[in-house]
Chains A and B, each alone.
Chain A
């Protein structure tokens, strides 16, 4: 997608992106309804009058009408898709100011101290990339010979009805062979990267990777519908650190395979739980007065009552539930509401969904793209430094979001906090 389109998407506020997405989700059911209703009108007229001549124009209109929504839907989809595609390549690093001078702070990719590690990874990458390309070549050569033979054999042995299944089988076999021949190189490169380079980048923020066997306490967010159960989600990279007196956990969540298939626009609104997102969990030394859930299109939570707030824009984007009307309002002051609306601006994320309970705040930023964060890129891509800088910037931005959340909690008078060191970091300072 072109740079101007990227800029146009970046210019949108997170609230506008949320509105655009909501409209996009409402469109398919509408198109489906119209597509079903228009021919039905013609059919009902035919049934009621029994006069085909009278019904024929309506049926024709119905038939034409059934095409019209498709055309409109394709047009609208192209329009929305253009907007969403524009987000590809726009990353969290948009928050971080770009400077021409290389950043040489310890652990940054531009730090001279990292050079030895990066050189070692690059040497290994070159070897692995050769293996990857060799495997790719072999699969292609075999496919060129085997596919026509298999296709011809299927036609000769069974007949013309095997054309479509033969194509599907050939494509499937090619995919399996390609994966078998190349995936191990990509996996080894990813593992090497995450063992050698990523810890250096994480160490800049005092972060440490959490193993997949170490659980993140998500019982309550799952109970309140903030995040889907583990059966429907897959935890990708996860990190943890002590930051300003609070324990910050960062995890990237992606939908599990079954969930990805179901996560279409046809799902009822109240059953849609965002699982494709960045989760920030902050355990701070303090407490809020009431359990408060702030979300977008979440299922109605149990044991919480709706809280109607006074900010019309906030009410348009978020739904709020709380265990106590006054306690939830103590947290959601007008300043906090504004902050939540603006927090994800200049990123490719949607406005956050938040669960605040006791001394824990769990925040889920839904992603608008399928982009995997904190990943090194393809093994054959020679731009290793580019990926490293991107991950470093992503980490800076995520920690910036954590700082924003801590600032927000710290400055809310109704939230009692223990010792928390103030740092001058704020959203304004990064703009």
Chain B
């Protein structure tokens, strides 16, 4: 009987340790995915001043939008590298607003043939599309990692060992902005 209890206890501890390891692995994967997102977001931030510099020559009437983008970028830049899960939601919100404004900017640019046909703007738009595609891919990777972590933490014995694994707060999903999901109607912004 004693042997049976000892075997059972060892098995239970082994199972808990296995679950702990799985949660740590999933948490690290979320960290890796966040690193990937940050690298792509940094590229977007680096690109924005160039796009604004090109656009400013033609879009004098859209000064408020340009200023809003500048302000959002200034707010988002220090949030790069943020690893606090509670603060990440705010970071994603800022980035979503920035992405939506950039989409609006490119939609407005369509009304200025001189702007859209200029070589630097074409190159900037192409690079921006590439960066956005990379951000979308990074978002899918991150959401996949978060989903995996949430499943492990919320499934028993996850709640018991998640504290030990350093996962007190679950990271939020990174959702695409509503503006980015729906097609932009340039006429709405005229």
- Distance between B147 CB and nearest chain A CB, rounded to angstroms: 9
Contact pattern, B 106-148, Cβ under 8 Å of A = 1, otherwise 0: 0000000000000000000010011011101110110010000
| B40 CB–A CB distance under 8 Å | yes
Contact yes or no, B36 A330, CB < 8 A:
no
A307, closest chain B residue (CB): B141
CA distance A325 to B32 in the complex (A): 10
For chain B, residues 15 to 31, give those with C-beta under 8 angstroms from any C-beta of chain A. none
Contact yes or no, A414 B134, CB < 8 A:
yes
| A257 CB–B CB distance under 8 Å | no
CA distance A165 to B172 in the complex (A): 75
Determine the chain A residues whose CB is within 8 A of the CB of B126 once the complex forms: 416
| A378 CB–B CB distance under 8 Å | no
CA distance A251 to B36 in the complex (A): 38
Contact yes or no, B144 A326, CB < 8 A:
no
B39, closest chain A residue (CB): A326
Contact yes or no, B141 A330, CB < 8 A:
no
Contact yes or no, B133 A325, CB < 8 A:
no
B32, closest chain A residue (CB): A325
Contact yes or no, A326 B141, CB < 8 A:
yes
Contact yes or no, A416 B140, CB < 8 A:
no
- Distance between B187 CB and nearest chain A CB, rounded to angstroms: 25
Contact yes or no, B137 A330, CB < 8 A:
yes
Determine the chain B residues whose CB is within 8 A of the CB of A289 once the complex forms: 134
With beta carbons under 8 angstroms apart, the residue of B36, B133, B141 that contacts A414 is: B133
With beta carbons under 8 angstroms apart, the residue of B130, B132, B137 that contacts A326 is: B137
For chain B, residues 61 to 115, give those with C-beta under 8 angstroms from any C-beta of chain A. none
Contact yes or no, B138 A326, CB < 8 A:
yes
Contact yes or no, A329 B140, CB < 8 A:
yes
Interface residues on B, range: 10 to 19
Determine the chain A residues whose CB is within 8 A of the CB of B130 once the complex forms: 413-414, 416
Max chain A CB contacts within 10 Å: which of B33, B39, B136, B137?
B137
Determine the chain A residues whose CB is within 8 A of the CB of B133 once the complex forms: 330, 333, 412-414
Determine the chain A residues whose CB is within 8 A of the CB of B137 once the complex forms: 326-330, 333, 414
| A308 CB–B CB distance under 8 Å | yes
Contact yes or no, B141 A325, CB < 8 A:
yes
| A219 CB–B CB distance under 8 Å | no
A417, closest chain B residue (CB): B126
- Distance between A95 CB and nearest chain B CB, rounded to angstroms: 30
CA distance A326 to B137 in the complex (A): 6
| A310 CB–B CB distance under 8 Å | yes
Determine the chain A residues whose CB is within 8 A of the CB of B40 once the complex forms: 326
With beta carbons under 8 angstroms apart, the residue of A310, A412, A413 that contacts B140 is: A310
B143, closest chain A residue (CB): A310
For chain A, residues 73 to 106, give those with C-beta under 8 angstroms from any C-beta of chain B. none
B137, closest chain A residue (CB): A329
- Distance between B106 CB and nearest chain A CB, rounded to angstroms: 13
CA distance A269 to B147 in the complex (A): 30
For chain A, residues 302 to 332, give those with C-beta under 8 angstroms from any C-beta of chain B. 308-310, 325-330
Determine the chain A residues whose CB is within 8 A of the CB of B140 once the complex forms: 310, 329
- Distance between A334 CB and nearest chain B CB, rounded to angstroms: 9
Determine the chain B residues whose CB is within 8 A of the CB of A326 once the complex forms: 36, 39-40, 134, 137-138, 141
- Distance between B185 CB and nearest chain A CB, rounded to angstroms: 21
Contact status of A310 and B134, CB under 8 A, knowing A326-B40, A413-B129: no
Contact status of A413 and B141, CB under 8 A, knowing A325-B36, A326-B40: no
Contact yes or no, A308 B138, CB < 8 A:
no
Determine the chain A residues whose CB is within 8 A of the CB of B36 once the complex forms: 325-326
Contact yes or no, B141 A329, CB < 8 A:
yes
Contact pattern, A 330-355, Cβ under 8 Å of B = 1, otherwise 0: 10010000000000000000000000
A332, closest chain B residue (CB): B137
Contact yes or no, B132 A310, CB < 8 A:
no
A329, closest chain B residue (CB): B137
CA distance A289 to B40 in the complex (A): 13
Determine the chain B residues whose CB is within 8 A of the CB of A328 once the complex forms: 137
- Distance between B24 CB and nearest chain A CB, rounded to angstroms: 18
Determine the chain A residues whose CB is within 8 A of the CB of B33 once the complex forms: 325
CA distance A325 to B140 in the complex (A): 10
With beta carbons under 8 angstroms apart, the residue of B32, B39, B134, B144 that contacts A330 is: B134
CA distance A310 to B147 in the complex (A): 11
B141, closest chain A residue (CB): A325
B132, closest chain A residue (CB): A413
For chain A, residues 30 to 58, give those with C-beta under 8 angstroms from any C-beta of chain B. none
- Distance between B103 CB and nearest chain A CB, rounded to angstroms: 14
Contact yes or no, A308 B132, CB < 8 A:
no
- Can you report 5 A-B residue pairs in the complex whose CB atoms are below 8 A from each other? A325-B32, A326-B36, A327-B137, A412-B133, A414-B130
| Interface residue ranges, A against B (CB under 8 Å) | 289, 308-310, 325-330, 333, 412-414, 416
Since A325-B141, A326-B39 are in contact, a sample of 9 more A-B pairs with Cβ atoms closer than 8 Å, ordered by chain A residue number, is: A325-B32, A326-B36, A326-B40, A326-B134, A326-B138, A329-B138, A329-B141, A413-B130, A413-B133
The 4 closest A-B pairs by CB, nearest first: A329-B137, A413-B133, A414-B133, A330-B137
